Amino acid sequence: MKKKNPVKKKADMPEFAFKEFSPEENRIYVEAVEKFRDAITTGKTLRQAYESYAIVDKELESLVRADFLKIMIAERHFSLHESLEDMAKTLDVSLDLIKHTHARMLQEVGVTAASQLDGIVPVTND
């Protein structure tokens, strides 16, 4: 009978690279999020909110838009307990987009937490 290797291999986790913003990119990011938030507050759809503030740098635009949707999920779903289905309807986006973004957020949190705990042995009172 062959014994199983008692050493567990660390599961491969996806890696995320978080962009470091220049002061100008940070200014644009903050301003865009404020404009998007204002548009959503007045009843605009997500697409209309995105159209309310033009960002010339398409890579930065993509990052800001993705982050803004994550902000909306954090505030409305996690803080206010709004269902993902209701968010999709209110923002006029597909439920798949909301679910995919939600899953991505949880994955990013898990990877970040795991990297912070690397080498730390937790002590529990279970």
Closest CA to 73 of 87, 58, 90: 87
Q: Is residue 109 part of a domain?
A: yes
What is the pLDDT, as a whole number, of residue 89? 97
What is the pLDDT, as a whole number, of residue 7? 44
Q: Is residue 20 part of a domain?
A: no
Closest CA to 13 of 115, 102, 116: 115
Determine the Cα–Cα distance for residues 60 and 51; give it in Å rounded to an integer: 15
Q: Is residue 16 part of a domain?
A: no
Confidence of residue 42 (pLDDT cuts 50, 70, 90): very high
Q: Is residue 125 part of a domain?
A: no
Q: Is residue 54 part of a domain?
A: yes
**pLDDT at residue 15 tops 80:** no
pLDDT in tens, 66-101: 999 999 999 999 999 999 999 999 999 999 999 999
Confidence of residue 12 (pLDDT cuts 50, 70, 90): low
Number of folded domains in the chain? Answer: 1
What DSSP designation does 79 have?
Answer: I
In terms of residue numbers, what domain contains 40?
26-116
What is the pLDDT, as a whole number, of residue 30? 96
State the number of CA atoms in the 13 A half-sphere of 96 facing the CB. Answer: 0
